[in-house]
A and B are shown apart, each in its own frame.
Chain A
Amino acid sequence: MHDIAQTPAAPVAFDFKRDLVAMLPHLRNFARSLARNPARADDLVQDCIVKALANIHRFDPETRLRPWLFTILRNTFYSDIRKRRREVEDVDGAYAARLSDPPRQNGKLDFEDFKVAFAKLPLEQREALTLVGASGCSYIEAASVCGCAVGTIKSRVNRGRRRLQAVFDGNDAPEGDDSDSGRQSGEPVARVW
């Protein structure tokens, strides 16, 4: 548990708590899409809040709180990954291997199956899909949170959706390079949200 009293006191010019409480479900959902573990996700949210408060003087109230908090949370997660890479990143696919394959029921995927399929997506696609699809971020906001180009976010969303759609349709995931560099320059990205 963090001691919030240890963070440097800064004048809070806006109702930080109110805005934070409103953002909490989005933060928890985003953290879960990254960490894939509810308890770990809540720890991430906690760290994010503490860091946000410590750096509140850097926040420009003219800008939006949402991408700022998402960015802090994401940076916290990736810092954590670097510290404990083996434990978190699932580089060897051990977590994905534990997930059972979703059963196909007349081409329909029920919600639990969707969650399993979503958890199997690469991290970069999970975060892009969550930001744009669930949290209502614009592509520009999502790109600023993820520190990449808008086209990259569109590409990640598109590839993630294609993978999920393939499971929906009862097909295997589409073949091909799943990395950002795998996309050919100039390849059109379907507008999906």
Chain B
Amino acid sequence: MDPRNVNPEISILGDKPTRDRGQGGRNFSAHVEYNPDPITRNLRRVYDEVAAEPIPADLKQLLDELEGLKERDPDA
């Protein structure tokens, strides 16, 4: 408490800032979006390479079949 404040009910420093605890850290992501270190950059680059590759024919066919299954299911 500020010793200059004679009335503890009224804060002369204004409202005490409250910390937004959000989800209590449950959604904390370990990702650091700014200035990643070289290892992180390279890990992401590996991912980017994979993401840039075309989807193999087998997988594409599987996804097409999935679409067909969904169309046959009226509840989908």
Instruction: Say what secondary structure dominates the interface of chain A.
Output: helix
CB <8 Å contact, B29 and A138? yes
B50 & A4 in contact (Cβ 8 Å cutoff):
no
- A residues apposed to B, CB below 8 Å: 1-2, 4-5, 9, 11-13, 16-17, 20-21, 24-26, 28-29, 32, 42, 45-46, 49-50, 53, 109, 111, 114-115, 118, 129-130, 132-140, 142, 161, 164-165, 168, 191-193
B42-A111 in contact (CB<8A): yes
Contacts of B56 in A (CB 8 A): 42
B32 at the A/B interface (Cβ < 8 Å)?
yes
Residues of chain B within 8 A (CB-CB) of A132 are 30-31
A26 touches B47 (CB 8 A): yes
| CB atoms of A140 and B46 under 8 A apart | no
B47 near A24 with CB under 8 A, answer: no
- 9 sample A-B contacts, Cβ–Cβ < 8 Å, listed by A number: A12-B76, A24-B55, A29-B51, A53-B69, A133-B40, A134-B44, A140-B28, A161-B39, A191-B30
Report B's interface with A, CB cutoff 8 A.
26-32, 37-40, 42-47, 50-51, 53, 55-56, 58-59, 61-63, 65-67, 69-70, 72-73, 75-76
**CB-contact partner of B61 in A1, A32, A50, under 8 A:** A1
Q: How many Å lie between the Cα of A71 and that of B49 in the bound state?
A: 23
Residues of A near B32 (CB, < 8 A) are: 193
B38/A17 in contact, CB under 8 A: no
Residues A129 and B30 in contact, CB atoms below 8 Å apart: no
**Does A193 contact B40, Cβ atoms closer than 8 Å?**
yes
- A138 to B31: give the CA distance in the assembly, Å: 7
From A25, A53, A129, B50 is in contact (CB under 8 Å) with A25
Docked CA distance A59–B14 (Å): 48
Given A49-B66, A134-B44, A140-B26, 15 new contacts (CB under 8 A): A24-B55, A28-B53, A42-B58, A46-B58, A46-B59, A49-B63, A133-B40, A133-B43, A134-B47, A139-B30, A168-B38, A168-B39, A192-B37, A193-B32, A193-B40
Pick the contact of A4: B44, B45, B65, B76 (CB < 8 A).
B65
